[in-house]
């Protein structure tokens, strides 16, 4: 298969799960990032030691949601291999630009990578922040969800 073909399509163009059987088991990791922009008044609330809502502390709840989502990625994304993650972490912080930065890191030793798990974790953590803050403002933007780096497998990647 050439690099110009979609890996999840067979020779006839039909969807299929990538066969990872011939691949080597290696240590793999991926880090994904999402950024959430909120009104200044909402950021002010969040700066008060992880502001509590009826659903609980915003950042703690988002961390749990992100980890849970990363673990369930194959249930959400068609044709993703179900993976038993060795580790997953979600770190959330307010940046100096008063935005929320979410980093999701996923790790495992397997025949396939964890990019989708890291991206799913960062995305769902961002969506959870949106859900928990929308009663204060609907002027919320989730942006810049992207893979920052991956290691293991055929090649490593670092975003520029």
Catalytic residue set: 131
- Tell me how far the alpha carbon of residue 84 is from its chain's centroid: 16
| Angstrom distance (rounded) from CA 103 to CA 142 | 13
Taking CA atoms, 18 is separated from 7, 134, 146, in Å, by 7, 39, 22
Residue 56: CB atoms within 10 Å: 13
């Amino acid at each position: 298969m050439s690099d110009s073909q979609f890996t999840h399509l067979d020779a006839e163009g039909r969807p299929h799960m990538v066969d990872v059987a011939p691949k080597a088991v290696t240590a793999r990791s991926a880090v994904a990032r999402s950024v959430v922009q909120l009104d200044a008044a909402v950021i002010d609330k969040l700066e008060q030691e992880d502001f509590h809502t009826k659903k609980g502390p915003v950042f703690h709840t988002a961390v749990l949601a992100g980890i849970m989502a990363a673990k369930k990625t194959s249930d959400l994304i068609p044709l993703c291999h179900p993976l038993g993650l060795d580790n997953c972490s979600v770190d959330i912080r307010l940046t100096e630009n008063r935005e929320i930065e979410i980093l999701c890191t996923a790790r495992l030793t397997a025949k396939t990578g964890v990019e989708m798990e890291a991206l799913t974790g960062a995305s769902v953590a961002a969506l959870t922040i949106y859900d928990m803050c929308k009663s204060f403002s609907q002027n919320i933007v989730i942006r810049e969800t992207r893979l920052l780096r991956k290691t293991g497998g055929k090649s490593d990647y670092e975003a520029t």
